[in-house]
Amino acid sequence: MNKALLLSLLILVSCKPQLSNRITVSSPDQKIQVELKLNEGLPQYTILADGQSIIRPSGLGFRLRNQPDLAGPFQLVNSNTVLINEEWEPAWGQENLIHSISRKITLELKEELAPYRQLNLIFRVFNDGVAFRYEIPEQADLDSLFILEELSEFNFANDGKSWWIQGGHAFDTYETLHKVSPLSEIDSANTPLTYITHNDFYISIHEANLTDYAGMTMKKSRVDSLSFTSNLVPWPDGDRVKTSAPMRSPWRTICIGRTATDLLRSRMILNLNEPNQLPDADWIKPMKYMGIWWGMHINKYTWVQGERHGATTENTKRYIDFAFEHGIQGVLVEGWNKGWEDWGKDDALQFKEAYDDFDIAEVIEYAKEKHITFIGHHETTANVASYEHQLESAYSFYDSLGVSAIKTGYVGAIKPEGHFHYGQWMVEHFRKVVKLAARHHISLDVHEPVKGTGIERTWPNMMTREGARGQEWNAWSEGNPPDHTTILPFTRLLAGPMDYTPGIFDIRFDRYKSDFKVHSTLAKQIALMLVLYSPMQMAADLPENYENQPAFKFIKDLKVDWDETLYLEGEIGEYVTIARRYEDEWFLGAIANENAREIEISIDQLIQDEMIAECYVDTDETHWDSNPYPIWIGSYKVTPSDILNARLAEGGGLAMRIRPISKDEMGQDFVSISELRLDQGVKE
Ligand code: NOJ
Ligand code: CA
């Protein structure tokens, strides 16, 4: 945690102005090339990987209000290329050290004709993709700038299978299932937009460091084509970005791999963000947490005070006791504050007033005695105007009680009307809250957020967010089909940690009707705790559903802040297997879509000595729909030369902890892991 920047090295390769009209910049490993050109003065970029076209010549620039377009014709005034080679330590994350190597080129352009405005284009070419941003330098008459449109084109060279959610500001939610279609059939999409080309390039388009700007979606620019342009989310008056020179746009990112797991390995988005602003923040604590939460979603409890009120002093103490007993570090409490009955009315939710049956000071004191983090909650109902009035006092209130983490939520349409969750005004609101929270030493878990763009590198108290269709949809909708969680790692999770809230053990819970269910096996629910990375990871079920459940041991043992992560295998929408190391222990999670899957993993990638593997996996009889509960749990001896063979059921999973042999176990006979596959078929 809070480790300082290790090494930052800039090697100047060339700063000699090159005034030719075509410049090629290669990734450090030479596999990716960006060609930059002024085509009759109009800037264009082209991307090639392994010698093959990825993005055909695509234009750049802006449409501005009360000004001519800032899109050329330009002349090149100066260009400069540097190699950036640095290593840095994230405050928390999937590994403890990140290496970033890229070539960066800055093109300084000036209009050929009056008013001779300047625009800089900056490209970074990494081994795992390309990023570009605009910079409008300080200059006369540009102290107020209203961007009507960003004219970044993405003229994709190849069609392919794509996974996407609807874009365009009318779709003011990320909480939809992914559509799967040829890239050519998309009309508008949000990012990350991921696709596989026919010649086996795995590509994902997104953005990095979304700051003081509107979120970017993509729209088709010509019907029946592979040509897209950026489509920024507008202000109520139609402007997309209100700014002034000097300004810098976020980075547009094109991550390029040859396998699906290459996308998971990429740290380009984090590498494009600024270094940690909070280097000594030991109050930022990665943790597993539980909460008075799922109970409301399955209608066992209510947020509102009444007979079935979830957030009572007594019930919260019960959660705290359970968390304490099982090594879970945090307890979230939703519905403790007054106003839930007035949902939708202005200033309904009172962020400092507790319902009569909830004594917040007593509960927090109780949590402190047991070293449990009380996670506060602000449901804003997206009434951001009202929330902004209360911000200072609401954060000071939690701070005064010693609360160090808050979950926020923005359900519904933004007020003031006409704003969208991903427009510039909201991007600025979300950042204001992150900074305010940091001043109060509070970490955040944001629901209905703006998309992740890697700002957790800079503001590590921005720990996790929802921003996709999470577990909650299983409680009250037709549910998330089994392939949903095999798509998320390759789409939404590329944008950063997600608070999916896995770990439901009571898969066939009672609600209004009996047909509500989690579309998963029990083994997959625990595997998801590892696969879907979040530094605040929720074990989402009720304590009574974990009581006496042997599979809960995996959740108790699991870590959330890792030294190393290996992405062992995966195909988008089909399966993924991930191994994460903390000190000398490995944790492995594998999940499948609706099809069963035999996996085969060489253990020598993970260990050098004989160790013990604690396995949790579907049996041969398990099926997400007809028989979700059977789980085989066993401890095996594992050596580097072993191959892990296992069968994931339809909608199933495998979770495994590989740990050193304890002193007590020395000399004991353990069955070899090569027997695991046989055991999965055993009838108990
Ligand atoms: C939606 C959030 O995603 C969910 O986690 C929360 O319980 C409800 N809003 C109420 O705030
Ligand atoms: Ca939500």
207 within 8 A of 105, measured Cβ to Cβ:
no
- Ligand 1 mutation target, pool 334, 337, 536, most atoms within 8 A of CB: 334
List the domains of the chain with CATH numbers: 7-271 (2.70.98.10), 276-467 (3.20.20.70), 485-684 (3.20.20.70)
Give 620's pLDDT tier (boundaries 50, 70, 90): very high
What is the mean pLDDT of the segment spanning 514-536? 93
- Ligand 1 mutation target, pool 294, 337, 447, most atoms within 8 A of CB: 447
User: What pLDDT sits at residue 141?
Assistant: 86
Residue-wise pLDDT for 133-158, tens only, equals: 999 999 988 989 999 999 999 999 99
Residue bearing the CA closest to ligand 1, atom 6: 409
User: What pLDDT sits at residue 20?
Assistant: 53
Those residues with Cβ within 8 angstroms of residue 513's Cβ, 6 or more apart along the chain or in another chain: none
Number of Cβ within a 10 Å radius of residue 227: 18
Ligand 1 pocket residue status of 409, Cβ below 6 Å: yes
> How confident is the prediction for the chain on average, in pLDDT?
95
User: What pLDDT sits at residue 515?
Assistant: 64
CA 273 to ligand 2 centroid distance, Å: 26
The C-alpha atoms of residue 57 and residue 55 are separated, in whole angstroms, by: 7
136 within 8 A of 245, measured Cβ to Cβ:
yes
- Ligand 1 mutation target, pool 293, 302, 303, 472, most atoms within 8 A of CB: 472
H or E element at residue 364: helix 360-369
Residue-wise pLDDT for 460-488, tens only, equals: 999 999 999 999 999 999 999 999 999 99
Closest among 528, 475, 499, 530 to 652, alpha carbons compared: 528
Residue bearing the CA closest to ligand 1, atom 3: 447
447 within 8 A of 499, measured Cβ to Cβ:
yes
Ligand 1 pocket residue status of 642, Cβ below 6 Å: no
40 has catalytic annotation = no
Ligand 1 pocket residue status of 411, Cβ below 6 Å: yes
What is the mean pLDDT of the segment spanning 14-21? 48
pTM of the model: 0.96
User: What pLDDT sits at residue 173?
Assistant: 93
Give 251's pLDDT tier (boundaries 50, 70, 90): very high
Residue-wise pLDDT for 39-92, tens only, equals: 999 999 999 999 999 999 999 999 999 999 999 999 999 999 999 999 999 999
Residue-wise pLDDT for 346-381, tens only, equals: 889 999 999 999 999 999 999 999 999 999 999 999
Give 15's pLDDT tier (boundaries 50, 70, 90): very low
CA 369 to ligand 1 centroid distance, Å: 28
What is the mean pLDDT of the segment spanning 36-41? 95
Give 333's pLDDT tier (boundaries 50, 70, 90): very high
Ligand 1 pocket residue status of 108, Cβ below 6 Å: no
Distances (CA, A) of 560 to 375, 533, 556, 605: 17, 8, 11, 21
Q: Which of 472, 564, 614, 675 is catalytic?
A: 472
User: What pLDDT sits at residue 682?
Assistant: 67
Please give the order of strands across the beta sheet that includes 62-64.
62-64, 145-150, 241-243
